[in-house]
Structure 1
């Protein structure tokens, strides 16, 4: 084992937090980022929302009921948690911290509220690198959400209202990547996480 390898293992991993409004293309871009950065650990969030078609427990999310989620929050087992569009989302703390301690970089894909909580949490969160994935325009974001067809009108309206507030939070982030083109956005995120 070389000295460089020993040094790398002793070094703490970096925590990246990616946020952006619903419909901006986070899942698509992150799938490509993960393919290009296979050593990056992608943290799976817990949620109380129902799975969408094709989603699997433990792969896309940890799907839990509201009581279980509340118990996890009460026990301090969530690095962050938020309510969004009537459902709860959160990041299990233990896995993130153990990966960082082992020297592995970790990526969280969470909402703006959660990114704020991570940054304010101190400890692991105080060193987090916050990345914001933005749409080219609000109109384009609305078109993407409408075209997705996975939500009813009330949920879509709530997501658009939340998106306006999330877009206003962009200055709180360390870096912004505009998703005009998936390949270009992916390349920009890979570059940021490879520095």
Structure 2
């Protein structure tokens, strides 16, 4: 039996991931997850409101880390520079949870309802990042565009990191943002010519 709340939470997450991979998300119940984790179903619901949220645990930590990193960035940086610094800092949370990240992404990719939930979560995170940029004085239109574009680069980098763990998430992030800058320069050249 888990002794601490954090230990119970980790065991519930691990049990859920195992069961979702074995049986599929839709065929797994919260009672089965709790039993595999060695706790009762009431304990499951003390940690997670439903079986979907097991896969999205950490969103609040990611949001807090991203928005704080945007606020902490040195003055004078352009929005995409602020975002690269912020995503690099927040990426440490993902790296620390890599054993859960890979199976989590597989399960979400295989389950349409979870993909929809993930998109809603991403939209909420993008809004939070845009708002944090606005607090730095970035105009609304540019803050929203930067947040959406930066999130797309972050999402691409995390996917590349899952596929190629020989390089750090930080390396994949720098490459994605370098590509973003190259695309922007190409677009400027095309409109000027």
**Quick check: which one's strand share is greater?**
1
Report which structure shows greater RCO (CA 8 Å, sep ≥6). Answer: 1
**Rg: which structure is higher?**
2
Query: Which TM class, normalised by the smaller chain length?
Result: under 0.3
TM-score scaled by structure 1? 0.24
**Quick check: which one's helix share is greater?**
2
TM-score scaled by structure 2? 0.24
